[in-house]
Structure 1
Amino acid sequence: MKPSEDWLRAINEKFRSEDVPPKARPILAILEYSKQFNCSWISPSDIDKTIETWFDENTKPGSHKIGSLYKGTFYFDSCFWQIDIPIGIGCYPVKAFDSLTLMPDNLKKEIQAKPQILREFIAVWLNCVDYAYGYNDILQLNTFNELATSFIKSAHKELQAKVSLLLEESPQAKAIETSRMAVEMYLKAILIIKNGWNDETQVRKIGHDLDKAVEQCIKLANNQHLEILKDKLNFFPPISERYKAKEWKTSELWFGYSIAQYIATTFTRMFSDRDNRNKIFSGNL
């Protein structure tokens, strides 16, 4: 059942009284509608389209596009393809190939016909799904101190910037820097949380040394995925070389992204209950 005009006007008045900016109102309205009427769906649907259209017509134009919850990327046919992780409410079915919103169907069929590439795509897609919802859960729960939250948000910004650089018409070499920085910030966030640090004194001692950071994380967390990450970190150049104009192959840019997305997802799986690796079946692809 679509939201009624009366319901939409009432919820908008509520948001006005609470001084909620127009940009935040559509998603908050979606969450409120799901809660009040105990319903579930996956975006885009008639419900969220109705809500978005209403706010588009009744608040400042262009200030409230809902969009995706998160955008990742997949490398295929020497190109970076956008992975759109939709906003989902409640329990709902998801299909991996629906996330490749800009990829032609014939290329999707090629991926499906090649088992190794298919497994790689599903792994990347699942990492993006768990990361998107895990990151959102972590911010909503707000259980970490200010220092940890600051590092988590900064890491997320680096992750988003990196994806944007890769999805440009000509993928940008700077994506290597943002990938490296995302890895560094997430490792430091793990150390802050596990050690209970409240200021940056101990964080500064690590500097930009990824090896030192991951070694300390492994000792504290005993996480096999951090062990896997350890052997890949020497891919990134030292931070002192960040101003050198080096040419990177698109396959290398992809590898750098893969490392950063991997640590980001490992982080959210460690500190949220988002881990869907055991719930994926061939019928959902």
Structure 2
Amino acid sequence: MTDKGKVAPVALKSKTGKNQKMKPVDAVQAAEATIQKAIELILARHSEIDQAEAQSFVLQQFEFMNADANEVISAERIVQRYEAAIVHRIAGDSEIRDKLAKLIFRGLSGRPSHQSLQYFELQHAFQLATGKSLSQYAEDVVAIVNQLQEMGYIRWTKPGHRMPLIFQGIDFDEWSAKMKVEKDAASSVTYNVTGSNARINHQSTDMSTNVVLERSGIQDQLDALRRTIAATQLSGPERQSALDVVDAVDAQFASGAPKKSVVTALLGALPKIADIATIVGTVAAFVK
């Protein structure tokens, strides 16, 4: 098809799965109609895009939106995403891609090389880390996994119409070494402070009150909690979800002013396993 006013039909082989009370055939037809309408609207409004590019974008967005149970899919919503993507391409969002890379690394490093990191796991981890829906960043997901695959850090497959599966790549060990160096460098700045109430004002005016935390003690407990979770018989997704909760608790203490209500809620989300519960009680005691 070359005429922008007449779009060739797109065949969709999978169901939408969006809690619709339709027959399977009706659901597929509704999905195809939404996709066709979105392509037509993009081509009508944006002369800079050709049909192949519009079709690729719409299909990609449809799949990512369909994987998010909270999304309401419509042609207009897909067009809005295309227009937001134009702005996004110009402005860029390296921060989001950096977060995605870290989450992918964290998800893969905690499992055997033959075991994949599935999209729903990445989606859950991203939601916990940022409070945002990953489906809003479909292009960033594709961009970062392509970049990491080109570097040999990961490999990803997309069988049929399912979401991608991400595996460790042939050079994943190099990525691990690089991440360790970066982590060591980030923690290499040392401030020698004596006294439990001592403090440093770094590039700031002192208008604060002291918050005294035995940081090394809480860090030991959080590390023990991570090891205990890793040693449990939890499933991969359950284990990763629990580790993400620990990371969120760690971030609260790292801020210097952990909120008791937040820490308590996070700890309450951890699996009710005896060994974990024992450490959870100790961690909770660090919050006044």
TM-score (norm 1): 0.26
Could you say which structure has the higher helix fraction? 1
- TM-score, scaled to structure 2: 0.26
Greater relative contact order (Cα < 8 A, sep 6+): 1
When Rg is computed on C-alpha atoms for both structures, the one with the higher figure is 2
